[in-house]
Amino acid sequence: MKESYQNLRERLRGKYRQLQEIRTHNQTAHPVGNALLAWLFPLPIVCLAELNQYVEPSAFFEFCAERPGVLLFDFLIAYLIYVTLLMLTNRVWLSAWIQGGAYMIISVVELFKYSTNGNHFKLTDLSLAPSVKNLTSFAYIKITVPLIIYLFLAVLLLSAVFLRNPAFTRPWRKRILPAFCSVAAACAIVCVPQISDTVYGVFDVDTSESENAFSTNEKFRRNSMLAFLVQSASEQLEHLLDEPEGYSQEAVSAALTAEPVSASAKQQPNVLVIMSESFADFRRLNGTEGLVDPAVYADFDAVAAESHVLNAAVPTFASYTVRTEFELMYGLPVRSLMDTITPQRSITVEQPSSMVSYYNGCGYNTYYVHPFVSTFYGRDEIYSTYGFDRMLFADSLTVPAKEYGNGYISDEVITDQLLELVQESSEPVYIHTTTMQNHQPYDWIPDSTELDVYLEGVRNSGKALRRLTQSLAKLDEPTVLLFIGDHFPSMRAEGNIYDALGINSKNCAVLYEQPALIWSNFKLDASALPQETVSAFYLTPLLLRAAGLPVDAFYGTVLRQMETDPVYTSIFMEPEQRNDILDLLTYDRIAGESYSGTRPAEADD
């Protein structure tokens, strides 16, 4: 056994020496060819990464003819990256492998992401990299002949660079300045607005504001993948959260103009907030007549008939559930956080004040229920700072878990879990639930369209909701329930229902509106609930007022902003329209000094 291992090791060493001899020979045998291969490498790798998006070469050539400046911009950025790597590694083949590998990986990720949910990859999505294992469970991964061809060509190109082994050896003293210049140029193009605007203008890169998911997709078609990635990075950097001008404890105190309101309820009610994954009412969309069986929403409609129904503007479409979740948990707008895709990662306050800490201050037992892995979006680590008494994820539910047909835990299980938590607590409870049942993909029922599969899930969610309210109605303790979908569902890019309905960047606002049901087994103060559309972040402070719970100066001030900005959600507003009070209070609670930390208004205030 030992001799066999030694023989294998010797054979491998021999093969390695032979390979190195070939590479050494090639390095000097073809100087002109090697020089061309070394210095032209960024051109074919850019083309292969972009070709992978277009699938058909003719479509890529058409883009090149229509948008030559954008292609030249891609080459410029590629060369800046390549020169930087070359100066740092002092090896042509290693630089080529790093850049080529990264470009093709990003190209494949973009292809699969867009195919899965119709949204394009941005560098900010790298924040989800730790959850890549979970993301693959959502992804629509289809291996096609063109994909294999382009990956094969990329491997062939990288192999040629490795075997031809173009020579490049420079002492470090001669590499410092070129490395610095290339890094500085790349950073300036991405990070310095004055330079960015000039360079993008020269190369005709589209810099228009992406107001919604559809306008983002249109921008991608004009810029293609690489320029889109770079320009969107500039856009994100330009919209980083900054401290409001004049921010101070005095400024925050001056902004809190509302008087605290004491509790009016005789008994503190249980408060349940259910954010239903991808739950949406497709009957609201023009052109769905005949596509949606009215019976799908029968149970939902039955609960709605017993509820106060509000129309809410949500901050996201098709993905990024945590944006709506943040608004409901904090009673604050994502718009004030510059529309970051992961608002919970903007929190720098050690113990942030939220609806959770508010209910804790009112003597409630507080729970978070999410029937998925705890690490997704970093919920286990980040949400543990919110102050929940207990967080229940897929592996810690206290009722028997049952999967829906798509492999996610069903809403029926959530109903069982909520009822158990309510019934076992001797104190009133506040529970925030983010469900999972209706998450994509919608392909698990044979010979059915995505919409049909999705609607079957909606039907089951309605049944679970109806059973929950019927059970809560029998309790001898007051209970109020807020039910809302986080966003309309994402559909595959190819042949999805939104394209079929003719929805585009100009008419897609309806996809950012959701019905919100406020149900209770006692009489609510209906006068506290608006008739007009309001942003989702107002809903949880509104719930305090309608249920007769104390409303402190902070949430009272937030609710006052409904008078001027009932909808403070970016899809419905111009970029320059700002609410300075909401922006100030959000910054204070999330990234400031928390001068306005939650302190519930008690009955004796």
Sign of CA dihedral 7, 10, 15, 16: positive
**pLDDT at res. 354:** 95
Could you tell me what percent of the chain has a pLDDT over 90?
Answer: 74
- What's the gap between Cα 185 and its chain centre? 30
Closest Cα to residue 247, out of 595, 552, 561? 595
**pLDDT at res. 268:** 95
Spell 181-195 as b/e; 16+ CB within 10 A means b.
ebbebbeebbeeeee
Read off the tokens for 89.
Answer: 């590694």
Closest Cα to residue 100, out of 43, 174, 149? 43
Residue 13: pLDDT band (50, 70, 90) is confident
Q: Quote the crossing angle between the two packed helices 68-89 and 172-191, to the nearest 10°.
A: 140
Residue 603: pLDDT band (50, 70, 90) is very low
Sign of CA dihedral 172, 174, 177, 180: negative
pLDDT for residue 525 is more than 80: yes
Lowest mean pLDDT among 22-26, 77-81, 97-101, 503-507: 22-26
**pLDDT at res. 4:** 75
DSSP 414-447: HHHHHHHHHHH-SS-EEEEEE--TTPSP---STT
Distance CA 576, CA 574 (A): 6
Spell 370-380 as b/e; 16+ CB within 10 A means b.
bbbbbebbbbe
Give the mean model confidence (pLDDT) for residues 149-165. Answer: 94
Give the mean model confidence (pLDDT) for residues 261-271. Answer: 93
**φ, ψ (nearest 5 deg) of residue 373:** -65, 140
**pLDDT at res. 135:** 60
pLDDT for residue 604 is more than 50: no
Give the dihedral of Cα atoms 279, 353, 256, 266; nearest 10 deg. Answer: 70
pLDDT for residue 113 is more than 80: yes
User: What pLDDT digit, counting tens, does each position of 50-103 carry?
Assistant: 999 988 899 999 999 999 999 999 999 999 999 999 999 999 999 999 999 999
Strands annotated E in 351-417: 365-369, 390-392
The letter for the amino acid at 139 is A
pLDDT for residue 137 is more than 70: no
**pLDDT at res. 3:** 63
User: What pLDDT digit, counting tens, does each position of 202-226 carry?
Assistant: 999 999 887 788 898 899 999 999 9
Give me the helices (H) in 274-320, please. Answer: 298-305
Give the mean model confidence (pLDDT) for residues 350-354. Answer: 92
**pLDDT at res. 130:** 63
**pLDDT at res. 1:** 60
The letter for the amino acid at 349 is V
Task: Assign domain 249-590 to its CATH superfamily.
Answer: Alkaline Phosphatase, subunit A (3.40.720.10)
Distance CA 542, CA 555 (A): 9
User: What pLDDT digit, counting tens, does each position of 448-481 carry?
Assistant: 899 999 999 999 999 999 999 999 999 999 999 9
User: What pLDDT digit, counting tens, does each position of 227-265 carry?
Assistant: 999 999 999 888 889 999 999 999 999 999 999 999 988
Lowest mean pLDDT among 10-14, 77-81, 304-308: 10-14
Strands of 308-313's sheet in order across:
390-392, 365-369, 429-434, 270-276, 479-485, 513-520, 308-313, 534-535
Lowest mean pLDDT among 47-51, 53-57, 131-135, 305-309: 131-135
Give the mean model confidence (pLDDT) for residues 538-549. Answer: 96
pLDDT for residue 600 is more than 80: no
Where are the domain boundaries for CATH 3.40.720.10 in the chain? Answer: 249-590
Find residue 484's DSSP bridge partners.
275, 516
Residue 602: pLDDT band (50, 70, 90) is very low
Please, what is the average pLDDT of the chain?
A: 92
Could you tell me what percent of the chain has a pLDDT over 70?
Answer: 96
Give me the helices (H) in 474-579, please. Answer: 497-500, 539-546, 553-560
